[in-house]
Amino acid sequence: MRRLLEILAGLALLLLAGEILARARQPQPAGSPPDAGVLDGGAPLAGDAGADAGLGDGGVSADAGAAAVAPDGGLPVTPGPVVAPEPVGPRYDQDAALPAHAAPVASYTWRVALDPVKHELSGKGQIVWKNASSVPQRELWLHLYLNAFKNEGTVMRSTPASGFRGAQPLSDWGWISLRRLHARELDADLLATADKHSPGEPGDETDIRVPLPREVAPGATLTLDVEFEAHLPSVTIRTGWSGSFHMAAQWFPKLARLDPDGTWSHFPFHRFTEFSANFGSYDVTIDVPEAYVVGATGHLDSESRADGKVTRRYLQEDVHDFAFTAWDRFQEKSETMEGVQVRCLYPPGYDAAARVQMDVVGKSLVHFNAAFGRYPYGTLTVVHPPDSAAEAGGMEYPTLITTGGAWWAVHSGTRSVEIVAAHELGHQWFYGLVATDEMRFPFLDEGINSWAEVDAMEAIFPRTSAAGLPGLRIGLDAVYRGFSLAVDRDEIIARSAPEFPRGVDYGALVYARTATVLQSLGNVYGQAEMRKAVGRYARRYRFEHPRPEHFIAALGEVLGAEAAAASRSALLEGGWVDYAVEEATTWPGSATRGLFGEPPTEKVDSATHAPWSGQAVLRRHGAVALPVDVDLVGSDGTRQRTRWEAGEATLRVSWSGTSALGWVVVDPEHRVLLDLDLTNNGRAVERAGTTLRALDRASFFAGALLHAVMP
Amino acid sequence: MIFSGRELEPRAAAQMQAWRRPGWVVAVWGFRTLLALLVAGPVAGAAGALVSGYPRGDAELFDGGAVMLVELARVAAPLVPALTAQAGAIFALAAVVGLVPMAALVVAIGHRGPLRIGAVLGRAAERMGALALLLGVALLVQAFCLVAPVLGAESVIGHMGWAPPREDVARTVGIVVGVALALVAGVVHDLARVAAVQRRLGFYDAVAMGLKTFGRSFGRALGGYAGRAALTGLVLALGYDLVTRLPIEGRGTVAMPWVLHQVALLLAVALRASWLAAALRLVEARAPRLSELDLMPLDEADLEPATAEELAAASSRRPGTA
């Protein structure tokens, strides 16, 4: 009876799982049942196109099962299992496969005036939005990001996020207030009915639901006439003002991203959360006082001066955000690199830093173009904020990046300025062109981009990508490895941004551990192959919104199933690895030593045969299995190398040589940077390796210090 | 008695040169090397324990990219406070105990003929009280010299509302001025030290003589000190740089760096000795006559209880002093 019940229960579970999978895979028909959207009797807004397959702004997600926004609109949860995506294929190893343009979903036309004395923006314009999902929409979700800085009760300001940027007190609050929100096609004023607060967060006004009087059918377009007033905060996390410097980021009312399955990817603005939006075109005209230099997303289309004001119009298509900066003290350098007009805006006295950044951006452009597909825009603006506005630095927007660093840092032998420039440029691909969801899967942009940054920096500054000082050559991969181990080994990387309890968890896992995982894969399978895998992913999903499965599938296609399994374990499941030499022994003689024959009269002397034998036991702790080399080194320096595929957790290797087994080393070139502990990778059998070099260096430094303190 | 300076005979000022006492220079270097090994031993031991399982040993720490060096920093991080405290204690102790070899070096340079170690050390130990007091006061003065200009620069920066790079330049100027003032205090300190040892003066008299000497020949004093200090920096930097250019592995790659480093440190000690000799010459040649300072040099009798005749002789030279 019990056995029968078990069988029935198993069958029921199988049926249920099949049903769930079938529902997840089945595209929703274009134009849902009328009762899905029409609540107040109005005619639904007709669509002009059905949904097509894919992940782009005009398509249906192949893995809708990964939707992660909580039903109550609250903070997101870790994504669930997903369906394997379609193969990408070698076609995407070449730029010929790149799409020319993104499908526009949310396009913005703004006329905005900046008052640099009051730090206020007043803007009006239109948002043209297309319901690119397969589901009729009865509501919009609008992000009013600047309200995150309105008071201490917002999600941004009230959520503990120690160890992360943006923690300093504000001397001036920031806010944005809608003055008009009118839907043309619906002929409806939406402002009156819009929610005032983020769902479930009465103190927050960054995530606003805007009910629609009638549904907007899939493929239909809605034009919103918008007017708003905004006040920039004193400079804080990525935005704000300091003196006359202004960084206008997240400054306008912005539609949340609508996924192809009809789900809005909306969220209250959290300290760790960055941004995610649909692609579109931006047409932004900015008024500032004449003395102000402006840097903005897109290319300058026109400029006119009147009444002490300068009006500049910027245009850019195929992007999903727009930021600008204005300062009356900016210095400027510009140069055409790789067909891109690169412009650097920087404070007085930072000429050397600007030169270095232009150089790194130029070299990184070459590297990223070759690896991940050509940069499709005509301009790139690099903004180095003044020291007092350092919090505005280190951020990416389409065709505009902000950098940072002290003016003297470029003379110090460390690469901090170069690293930031390469990192932010890399975001033009991993965030800009491959527009992953930065809130749900921050590792997909920050993590992959950190690896891309290491890859570019290592190409430019081999083995000195973090610092190139006399006698001290530090690679960025080593630094990221060290930082990645600042948190527990089994912490999961693939979490949504708000799920990280501390800034150090977010930084160590999202940035450093992801980069370390990918760098390890590159070291093991070849950096060129790794670049090819990530390049295939980047080209295939340009102008789209891929998810973790798409990335891992691309890795698997190029590097193999073993690499895909390792990356899945390390990125999605908290997998880790520690290779260790558990035991190593050696003894004289071998099976050839002794008496042989019957009767045993044949005496074999070990001196004429392999006189030394030995054995080592190696262990792979943790779930991540990556192949490694194992070196058995004789006391006379002879070396035997063995490949350990590491599929099994324990390996026993034998030594037979002309000298005693001296040392055993697993992964001698430190290819698997993910390895938790490198100090147990080597074991001396009898004689330990010398430590006299360390003693010499340490005593020299101590002697020099003594010279300073002793009479 | 063992520690006696009775037989020491002062050398003519012009002949007070460090190169005449190479043995004492080497001895001071040896003393410092021992102290350096005391500081470096636990650090190197900790590093060695973590990489000794590798056949290349600590050569792993010097590879390009620094994977193992960063690993060492990460794994050994919990030891850093303890190692720093230990090194700090040794440095603090060295600053005080080191007064003896420094004073011995001054005695050796300042006196002629073959010297008995006991006699030299005896003379050196005799002035420890004054030297320690000089050290403490000099440290306070130097700290003030360092901090005051820096605070002044910060005040100006705040008042003027300067931003980088002007802010950084102003701060750097403050630091440079502070360091320069501290070095001037250090030069006076050295002049007072050698005066205390050579002329066997107490704290106040030594300070007075140091200041007077500096006042009369500050150009030569500063030049002599700064030139040798710059040369010392150069020698140490060269020692470091040369070693970084050597291969990490291969024949002689353990011994050669050690030799180069120690030669650099030995030269640094020699330059220090050279400066002390120069300070001695300045004190002897440029210092005011004792009568000008109303001083009386301590004589050999101070090492032992004064006899009645000695007391009488002293009283006859300077009434009221015994």
pLDDT at A352 over 60: yes
Report ipTM (2 d.p.).
Answer: 0.87
Q: Return the pLDDT at B291.
A: 44
Backbone φ and ψ of A395, nearest 5°: -145, 155
| Cα B313 to Cα A331: distance, rounded to the nearest angstrom | 80
| Cα A513 to Cα A412: distance, rounded to the nearest angstrom | 27
In chain B, residues 246-275 whose CB comes closer than 8 Å to chain A: 248, 253-254, 257-258, 261-262, 264-265, 268-269, 272
| Cα A167 to Cα A210: distance, rounded to the nearest angstrom | 31
For residue A696, which residues of chain B lie inside 8 Å, CB to CB? 254, 257-258, 261
Tell me the mean pLDDT in the region A77-106: 84
- Take residue B277 and report the two structure tokens written for it: 């000799």
Residue-averaged pLDDT of chain A:
89
Question: pLDDT-based confidence at A93, cuts 50/70/90?
Answer: very high
pLDDT at A59 over 50: no
Tell me the mean pLDDT in the region A441-445: 97
Query: Exposed, middle or buried: residue B13 (CB in 10 Å: 0-12, 13-18, 19+)?
Result: middle
Lowest mean pLDDT among A338-352, A635-649, A686-700: A686-700
Q: Return the pLDDT at A606.
A: 56
Could you report the per-residue pLDDT of A586-607, keeping only the tens digit for each?
Answer: 998 755 667 778 888 877 765 5
Question: pLDDT-based confidence at A54, cuts 50/70/90?
Answer: very low
Instruction: Give residues with Cβ within 8 angstroms of A252, minimum separation 6.
Output: A108, A110, A112, A123, A176, A228, A230, A322
| Cα A57 to Cα A54: distance, rounded to the nearest angstrom | 9
Question: pLDDT-based confidence at A305, cuts 50/70/90?
Answer: very high
pLDDT at A42 over 60: no
Q: Return the pLDDT at A38.
A: 32
Q: Return the pLDDT at A41.
A: 37
Residues in chain A: 711
Kindly identify which residue of chain A lies nearest to residue B30, measuring between CA atoms.
Answer: A703
Q: Return the pLDDT at A56.
A: 60
Question: pLDDT-based confidence at A610, cuts 50/70/90?
Answer: low
Q: Return the pLDDT at A75.
A: 40
Q: For the CA atoms of A553, A555, A561, A567, what is the dihedral angle to 10 degrees?
A: -100
| Residue type, position A348, single letter | P
Residue, of B211 and A31, whose pLDDT is higher = B211
Question: pLDDT-based confidence at A68, cuts 50/70/90?
Answer: very low
Residue-averaged pLDDT of chain B:
88
CA dihedral sign of residues A142, A143, A146, A151: positive
Question: pLDDT-based confidence at A568, cuts 50/70/90?
Answer: very high
Give percent of chain A above pLDDT 70: 87
Instruction: Give residues with Cβ within 8 angstroms of B27, minimum separation 6.
Output: B101, B104
| Residue type, position A611, single letter | P
Lowest mean pLDDT among A81-90, A194-203, A450-459, A683-692: A81-90
Angle between helices B80-97 and B128-160 (to 10 degrees): 120
Q: Return the pLDDT at A608.
A: 55
For residue A704, which residues of chain B lie inside 8 Å, CB to CB? 236, 265, 268
Comparing CA positions, the residue from A247, A552, A211, A574 lying closest to residue A393 is A247
Kindly identify which residue of chain A lies nearest to residue B100, measuring between CA atoms.
Answer: A711
Could you report the per-residue pLDDT of B54-83, keeping only the tens digit for each?
Answer: 999 999 999 999 999 999 999 999 999 999
**Cα–chain-centroid distance for residue A96?**
25
pLDDT at A15 over 50: no
Tell me the mean pLDDT in the region B47-53: 89
Q: Return the pLDDT at A73.
A: 37
Question: pLDDT-based confidence at A436, cuts 50/70/90?
Answer: very high
For residue A387, which residues of chain B lie inside 8 Å, CB to CB? 163-164, 167
Residue pair A156/A270 in contact (Cβ under 8 Å)? The answer is yes
| Cα A180 to Cα A197: distance, rounded to the nearest angstrom | 17
pLDDT at A478 over 80: yes
Question: pLDDT-based confidence at A40, cuts 50/70/90?
Answer: very low
Query: Exposed, middle or buried: residue B293 (CB in 10 Å: 0-12, 13-18, 19+)?
Result: middle
Asked if the Cβ–Cβ distance from B70 to A479 is below 8 Å, we say yes
Asked if the Cβ–Cβ distance from B268 to A704 is below 8 Å, we say yes
Asked if the Cβ–Cβ distance from B55 to A472 is below 8 Å, we say no
Tell me the mean pLDDT in the region B8-25: 93
Place of tokens 């005040």: B155
CA Rg value for chain B = 24
Q: Is A123 helix (H, G, I), strand (E, B) or coil?
A: strand
> From the list B54, B64, B244, which residue is nearest A665 (CB)?
B54
Tell me the mean pLDDT in the region A438-442: 95
For residue B86, which residues of chain A lie inside 8 Å, CB to CB? none
Asked if the Cβ–Cβ distance from A689 to B244 is below 8 Å, we say no
Could you report the per-residue pLDDT of A417-430, keeping only the tens digit for each?
Answer: 999 999 999 999 99
Could you report the per-residue pLDDT of B114-167, keeping only the tens digit for each?
Answer: 999 999 999 999 999 999 999 999 999 999 999 999 999 999 999 998 888 889
Q: Return the pLDDT at B305.
A: 43
Question: pLDDT-based confidence at B301, cuts 50/70/90?
Answer: very low
Residue pair A127/A255 in contact (Cβ under 8 Å)? The answer is yes
Comparing CA positions, the residue from A435, A330, A429 lying closest to residue A382 is A330
Q: Return the pLDDT at A64.
A: 35
